[in-house]
């Protein structure tokens, strides 16, 4: 068992509430725990992350049937962004028009997808479909081509997806074009033509420039990968409908704000635009009483 303490505020219960929207997540709300599928070298392992502290004094236990090394512990810390003090970010927004939202959702961190390839596949699958159906499609994809261990589902690896036929994807009720994006992108990663995990070393601008060359990957997909795959702190996807709706509600508008308005408002939120995005999304998502059944 590995025990970890971090600076508060950090609301792990809100983390679990947000994660519970994804049907692939294995969560125990009463135990305040989530099981995370990761790799130890080439071996798949499951790490149980359990909250043992409070929002103001957060602490956690990591347990696994495997003996955890510093590498796996670092990976878990990165996923849950335990090295990013949220009080500094909250202080920044205390003087902005997002003050009330940040107070209401105090201690909500930017939690990453469990793996960068998983994140990219999710982003592609989620393109141009509503959130509920997007999660259904992703679940079908993982249940069909991935594998289960200790009750937790692992995404398939790029090399496995690269061997699929397009028809195997379209049978899951995805379009032929989306099937091509999924398989062709996976081939580029498996063949080393798209060194996905080296992107961590590049700037946001360099990553955008490189990835939009890939068929099926546009700015929206890259921004989501930067946010939820790499945890970059200063991203504001103005084309995102959720953010537009949140700002419409916040500002009491009759219609969605223009991109120009959003760009102007967001100047006060830098250099933490990613957190502005997260808290705006959070402000219109189902809340605890709607998610906990």
- Find the farthest-apart pair of alpha carbons in the chain and give their distance in angstroms, rounded: 56
Contacts (Cβ under 8 Å, ≥6 apart) of 264: none
Contacts (Cβ under 8 Å, ≥6 apart) of 209: none
Contact 189, 158 (CB under 8 A): yes
Cα angle 7, 35, 139; round to 5: 125
Burial 167-186 (b: 16+ CB within 10 A, else e): eebeebebeeebbebbbebb
What are the backbone angles phi and psi of residue 233, rounded to the nearest 5°?
-85, -10
Q: Which two tokens stand for residue 158?
A: 């790029």
What region does 270 belong to: left with phi over 0, alpha with psi -120 to 50, or beta? beta
Cis peptide before 277 (omega within 30 of 0): no
In 3D, which of 199, 183, 210 has the Cα closest to residue 124? 183
CA distance 153 to 3: 25
Catalytic residue among 97, 240, 254, 268: 240
Cis peptide before 9 (omega within 30 of 0): yes
What are the backbone angles phi and psi of residue 213, rounded to the nearest 5°?
-75, -20
| 97 is a catalytic site residue | no
Consecutive H or E run containing 186: helix 176-190
Contact 233, 221 (CB under 8 A): no
Q: Enumerate the active-site residues.
A: 240
């Amino acid at each position: 068992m590995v025990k970890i303490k971090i600076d508060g505020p950090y609301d792990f219960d809100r983390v679990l509430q947000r994660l519970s929207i994804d049907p692939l997540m294995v969560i125990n709300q009463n135990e305040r725990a989530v099981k995370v599928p990761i790799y130890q070298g080439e071996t798949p392992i499951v790490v149980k992350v359990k909250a043992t502290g409070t929002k103001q004094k957060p602490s956690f236990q990591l347990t696994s049937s495997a003996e955890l090394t510093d590498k796996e512990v670092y990976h878990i810390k990165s996923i849950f962004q335990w090295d990013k003090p949220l009080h500094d970010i909250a202080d920044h927004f205390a003087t902005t028009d997002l003050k009330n939202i940040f107070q209401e959702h105090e201690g909500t961190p930017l939690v990453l997808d469990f793996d960068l390839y998983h994140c990219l596949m999710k982003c592609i699958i989620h393109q141009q479909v509503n959130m509920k159906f997007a999660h259904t499609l992703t679940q079908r994809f993982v249940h069909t081509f991935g594998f289960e261990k200790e009750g937790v589902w692992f995404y398939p690896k790029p090399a496995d997806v690269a061997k699929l036929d397009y028809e195997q994807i379209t049978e899951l009720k995805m379009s032929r074009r989306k099937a091509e994006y999924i398989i062709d992108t996976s081939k580029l990663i498996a063949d080393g033509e798209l060194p996905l995990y080296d992107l961590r070393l590049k700037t946001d601008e360099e990553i955008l420039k490189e990835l939009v060359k890939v068929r099926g990957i546009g700015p929206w997909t890259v921004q989501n990968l930067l946010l939820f795959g790499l945890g970059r702190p200063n991203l504001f996807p103005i084309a995102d409908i959720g953010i537009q709706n949140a700002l419409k509600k916040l500002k009491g508008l009759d219609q969605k704000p223009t991109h120009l308005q959003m760009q102007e408002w967001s100047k006060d939120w830098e250099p933490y635009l990613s957190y502005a995005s997260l808290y705006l999304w959070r402000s219109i998502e189902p809340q605890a009483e709607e998610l906990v059944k």
